[in-house]
Amino acid sequence: MDIIHPYMGKAHIGMLINKVMAMNRFFGNRLAIFVFSFPALLLFTVYVIYPIFPEIFISFQKNDGFRNMGFIGLKNYINVLQDKTFWRANYNTFFIVFVSTFIALPISLLFALIMDKMSEPMRRFFKFSSVFPAVVSVTVIAQMWIAVYEPMWGLLNSILRALGMDKLALAWLSDSRTVVPAIAVAFLWQYLGLNALLFYTGIKAIPKTYYEAATLDGAGFFRASLKITIPLLQDVTKYLLVISILGCMAQFAHVRIMTAGGPGDISRTVVYHMYYVAFSVSDFGRGCAIAILFVLECLLLTFIINMYVARERIEF
Amino acid sequence: MKKSSKFMISLLLFVMVIAFVACAPSPAPGGTVSDDTKVSTDDKSNEQKPAEKIRIKFLSLSADENRNNIREKYIKVNAPKEFPNVEIEYDLGGGGQDYANKLKAYNASGDMPDVWFSEQNLSTVVIETGNALDLYPYVIETGFDKKFKMKDLVQPDKDGKLYCVQPGADQYFTPRLWYHKDIFEEHNLELPKTFDELVALCEKIKGLGLVPISIVGKDGWTCNLHLVQTMIMAEDPQVAIDLANKKTDFSNPVVRNALERIQKLVQAGAFADGVTNIDYGPAIEMYTSKKAAMLAMFSWELGNLEKASPDTDFIPWPSASDKVDPDDVIQYWGAPLSGYLASANSRYPEIAAKFAMFCAEQDALYYNIEQKAPTMLDTGIKIEGVSSLMQKNLNQFESAKIKVPSIWAATFNAKMSAEYATENSKLLTGQYSPDDWIEAVNRAWAENID
């Protein structure tokens, strides 16, 4: 018997080739593709695509959620665009997006670069610490930050007072100047580690030979990171940009639990404002108009990211 | 590929059509709503089956101690005796905005619980949709109306309908300024009679390292329920009466002065730091644990405060004008649509109506027995062993010459309540001008009147 592989004979190899071909035939079958994708498509259609249509209709109506009180054309849209709170909510939302993109993501990347250089036990600890806040319920995280920000006995103010900085000990969640940044910190902190972990998996996929060549050329950690790691991470960066920007845009739970959009309407995000208008004020027409405008904002942002970030896929 | 694309598109269209049909609103309940007479025809056929247990659903608030006690210790215990053939499903709705959203969701679906507890501003939403049952025929038929000391509470509206039955406890609830006698004695603090004295007192208490007045600041709760009205009445009660009767609006100069007084209190440090985030429970706890010297709260908490802090006493809110004697003016909580309602779509409207009246009676029993508080609904219970604090509260209540209903409870619709809460929450930051408040609230008020 001719030995062509240390562990397998000809017959075994033939069987393996047949199996691979059968699998190719199976996955090349359009019906199979359809059968596999149908459940997801079905759910997506019923819960995502379908609700958009009635929402568009309702946005042109005077509607309190129970009754359609007539078609009013663009009035809801005009009211929304003239509403100061809607613009404040947009400002708050984009503030969180800005902090996420230009502060939180670079910090995550820095953590990932540091993690790559850590010893194995430290890395294991770091991985656990990174994932932990992301898997804990938002309610728990929000309550924890409420306690941190508590004006009289909260951790933050206690530290500030202990350091003799009493004047900086504020009512963080009740002061109109600090409430939005305070919520942003709580929200971004929760996902900082997870983003770092995703960056880290991207770093691990970069072939070591690039770094070996760079080392031979005399490049240090910072130069290698700047010239090799960051450029080759553009697929991961694009993914994280889309996920974190859209996640920040849809920010609701932290605001609902930590301040209920307050004081007053000062910390509302667009999604929270939409919820408030529809459910608290019972103006579903205006609520749906906000929703449609929000969908357009999200589409525009996604379009911009796709246009300008990582247009071509990198293959190692 | 084309074939399979066509197939997929057709299938998705089919799914969308199915979803559209499934999610379409159910037929308006109006058709059955007004048919009150159906009670004695259709439903009797259902009710005349002694062997079968009828099942009804009851939705109640479950976030405050009083509501939980009424449900658990009275309604649940006594319902099987009163309704042996009825099985009651208890639906716990939480409190505040959660309860409001749950009730609104039921209302939107048209599938209301058979009976539920509701405040005025939520009741109007359900009534406008046609989902509330007219209880008047049942109230007359059972003689429930004869049990009331204040007959206005069981009078039908201008359309001849009565949608809500209540225990009549609310009419005795009034906002008080509770204080710890021990703290006042220990630090030689004097009770304020005027608003300026109150501000000076707050500054003094703050200097002692205590919170002067504990309030519920989350969603502007204390301001919504009484503080704005209290500050208006401290200068001119007639303006509050005019607002309740929709004869004036919030641009009235007395309202502006009232808002400035609240702002002055905030700036004097009268309330806890971060007050806009303090909820009901923590506000009470802040007072009972003596972190706060005073508490702004309605008299419905009197029994609980007495138990938790035996050194508790109260004063009426100080006046801001020589013309107003604080003992003569009082705000009461009652509203015609705060109480128990029944569903117009109930399969057993007669049972639902009777159960709503039963709940109102159990509610009154709770206040008579547990809180030793009187109610407008006469339960036949003779209230004995009333504490001196409760007696003082009742005496002051009875002797007040001007009694003004709560503007929030009796006048506002859901939209007005929401906007008013938003503005009051901002007012409590001390960084919001009364002019902005007036502009925003008046805009909502104009729509509220419509």
Position A5 confidence tier, pLDDT thresholds 50, 70, 90:
low
Query: How far away is chain A from the Cα of B425, in angstroms, using its nearest Cα?
Result: 5
Record: contact A152-B273, CB cut-off 8 A: yes
Same domain as B157, residue B201: no
Position A129 confidence tier, pLDDT thresholds 50, 70, 90:
confident
ipTM: 0.74
Query: How far away is chain A from the Cα of B109, in angstroms, using its nearest Cα?
Result: 8
Report chain A residues whose CB lies below 8 A from the CB of B11.
Answer: 38
Nearest CB to B97 within list A150, A280, A283: A280
- State yes or no: pLDDT of A315 exceeds 60: yes
Query: How far away is chain A from the Cα of B76, in angstroms, using its nearest Cα?
Result: 31
Identity of residue A205: A
- State yes or no: pLDDT of B25 exceeds 60: no
- State yes or no: pLDDT of B82 exceeds 90: yes
Record: contact A45-B432, CB cut-off 8 A: no
Report chain A residues whose CB lies below 8 A from the CB of B96.
Answer: none
Position A127 confidence tier, pLDDT thresholds 50, 70, 90:
confident
Record: contact A50-B419, CB cut-off 8 A: no
- State yes or no: pLDDT of A69 exceeds 90: no
Q: For B311-332, what is the mean pLDDT?
A: 92
Residue B15 within any structural domain of the chain: no
Tell the residue number behind the tokens 């959660």, with chain if given.
B98
Residue A284 within any structural domain of the chain: yes
Record: contact B414-A171, CB cut-off 8 A: no
Same domain as B124, residue B161: yes
Least confident range from A44-53, A159-168, B181-190: namely: A44-53
Distance between CA B231 and CA B208 in Å, rounded? 26
- State yes or no: pLDDT of B426 exceeds 90: yes
Same domain as B323, residue B249: yes
DSSP single-letter state for residue B316: P
Residues A252-283 as b or e (16 or more Cβ within 10 Å = b): bbbbbbbbbbbbbbbbbbbbbbbbbbbbbbbb
Interface test with B, best of A282, A286, A288 (most B CBs within 10 A): A282
More confident residue, B436 or B157: B436
Residue A39 within any structural domain of the chain: yes
Position B309 confidence tier, pLDDT thresholds 50, 70, 90:
very high
Q: For B226-247, what is the mean pLDDT?
A: 94
- Contact B420/B412 with Cβ under 8 angstroms? yes
On the 0-12 / 13-18 / 19+ scale of CB atoms within 10 A, A299 is: exposed
Same domain as B129, residue B249: no
Residue B394 within any structural domain of the chain: yes
Residues B69-79 as b or e (16 or more Cβ within 10 Å = b): ebbeebbeeeb
Same domain as A188, residue A141: yes
Q: Return the H-helix or E-strand segment holding A189.
A: helix A179-204
Same domain as B190, residue B84: no
For chain A, percent of residues with pLDDT exceeding 70:
89
Domain with residue A271: its CATH number is: 1.10.3720.10
Distance between CA B48 and CA B42 in Å, rounded? 11
Question: For chain B, which residues lie within 8 Å of any Cβ of chain A, measuring from their own Cβ?
Answer: 1, 4, 7-8, 11-12, 15-16, 19-20, 23, 97, 100-101, 104, 107-108, 125, 128-129, 217-220, 272-277, 414-415, 418-419, 422-429, 431-432
Record: contact B1-A66, CB cut-off 8 A: no
Query: How far away is chain B from the Cα of A157, in angstroms, using its nearest Cα?
Result: 12
Record: contact B23-A54, CB cut-off 8 A: yes
Same domain as B304, residue B401: yes
Taken in order B321, B323, B325, B331, the sign of the CA dihedral is negative
Q: Which pLDDT score is estimated for B24?
A: 55
Residue A315 within any structural domain of the chain: no
Q: Which pLDDT score is estimated for B53?
A: 86
Record: contact B415-A174, CB cut-off 8 A: no
Distance between CA A107 and CA A168 in Å, rounded? 25
For residue B25, how many C-alpha atoms fall within 13 Å in the half-sphere facing its CB?
14
Same domain as A41, residue A78: no
On the 0-12 / 13-18 / 19+ scale of CB atoms within 10 A, B102 is: middle
DSSP single-letter state for residue B319: B
DSSP single-letter state for residue B212: E
- State yes or no: pLDDT of A23 exceeds 70: no
Q: For B392-419, what is the mean pLDDT?
A: 88
**Residue A207 backbone dihedrals phi, psi, to 5 degrees:** -60, 140
Q: Return the H-helix or E-strand segment holding A301.
A: helix A284-308
The torsion defined by the Cα of A226, A229, A234 and A238, in degrees rounded to 10, comes to: -90
Per-residue 3-state assignment (H helix, E strand, C coil) for B353-416: HHHHHHHHHHHHHHHHHCCCCCCCECCCCCCCCCCHHHHHHHHHHHHCCEEEECHHHHHCCHHH
Least confident range from A14-23, A61-70, A160-169, B214-223: namely: A14-23
Position B37 confidence tier, pLDDT thresholds 50, 70, 90:
very low
Q: How many domains does chain A have?
A: 2
Same domain as A153, residue A41: no
Structure tokens at A271: 């999604």
Q: Which pLDDT score is estimated for B51?
A: 57
Identity of residue A143: Q
Same domain as A79, residue A54: no
Record: contact B415-A54, CB cut-off 8 A: no
Record: contact A50-B275, CB cut-off 8 A: no
The string of pLDDT tens digits covering residues B339-397 is 999 999 999 999 999 999 999 999 999 999 988 888 989 999 988 888 899 999 989 98
Same domain as A280, residue A214: yes
Residue A193, C-beta contacts closer than 8 angstroms, at least 6 positions apart: A108, A111, A129, A130, A131, A132, A133, A134
Identity of residue A107: I
Q: How many domains does chain B have?
A: 2
Same domain as B286, residue B225: yes
Position A25 confidence tier, pLDDT thresholds 50, 70, 90:
low
Cis peptide before A263 (omega within 30 of 0): yes
Residue A288 within any structural domain of the chain: yes
Q: Return the H-helix or E-strand segment holding B444.
A: helix B434-449
On the 0-12 / 13-18 / 19+ scale of CB atoms within 10 A, A112 is: buried
The string of pLDDT tens digits covering residues B112-125 is 999 999 988 788 88
Residue B234 within any structural domain of the chain: yes
Residue B270, C-beta contacts closer than 8 angstroms, at least 6 positions apart: B198, B199, B202, B206, B212, B213
Same domain as B165, residue B77: yes
- Contact A203/A233 with Cβ under 8 angstroms? yes
Record: contact B8-A41, CB cut-off 8 A: yes
Domain boundaries, position B153:
46-170+336-369
Q: Which pLDDT score is estimated for A2?
A: 47
Query: How far away is chain B from the Cα of A41, in angstroms, using its nearest Cα?
Result: 8
Same domain as B129, residue B68: yes
Residue A316 within any structural domain of the chain: no
Nearest CB to A66 within list B15, B23, B129: B129
Nearest CB to A282 within list B275, B414, B426: B414
Nearest-Cα residue of chain A relative to residue B428:
A263
Same domain as A116, residue A36: no
Domain boundaries, position A48:
10-58
Domain with residue B52: its CATH number is: 3.40.190.10
Record: contact A175-B415, CB cut-off 8 A: no
Residues B89-98 as b or e (16 or more Cβ within 10 Å = b): eeebbeebbe
Least confident range from A22-31, A88-97, B283-292, B439-448: namely: A22-31
Structure tokens at B341: 């309602």
Report chain A residues whose CB lies below 8 A from the CB of B277.
Answer: 146, 171, 173-174, 259, 262
Same domain as B158, residue B73: yes
Residue A92 within any structural domain of the chain: yes
Same domain as B437, residue B409: yes
Residue A313 within any structural domain of the chain: no
Q: Which pLDDT score is estimated for B438?
A: 96
Nearest CB to B415 within list A38, A54, A282: A282
Q: Which pLDDT score is estimated for A307?
A: 82
Record: contact A34-B8, CB cut-off 8 A: yes
Query: How far away is chain B from the Cα of A234, in angstroms, using its nearest Cα?
Result: 33
- State yes or no: pLDDT of A1 exceeds 50: no
Same domain as A206, residue A115: yes
Largest CA distance in chain A: 87
Structure tokens at B406: 């709560």
Q: Which pLDDT score is estimated for B20?
A: 61
Record: contact B425-A54, CB cut-off 8 A: no
Beta strands in B45-120 (DSSP E): 54-60, 86-92, 115-118
Strand-pair partners of B294: B179, B213
Please, what is the average pLDDT of chain B?
Answer: 87
Least confident range from A190-194, B35-39, B401-405, B424-428: namely: B35-39
Position A24 confidence tier, pLDDT thresholds 50, 70, 90:
low
Record: contact A30-B425, CB cut-off 8 A: no
Position B138 confidence tier, pLDDT thresholds 50, 70, 90:
very high
Question: For chain A, which residues lie within 8 Å of any Cβ of chain B, measuring from their own Cβ?
Answer: 30-31, 34, 38, 41-42, 45-46, 49-50, 53-54, 64-67, 146, 149-152, 171-176, 259-260, 262-266, 276, 279-283
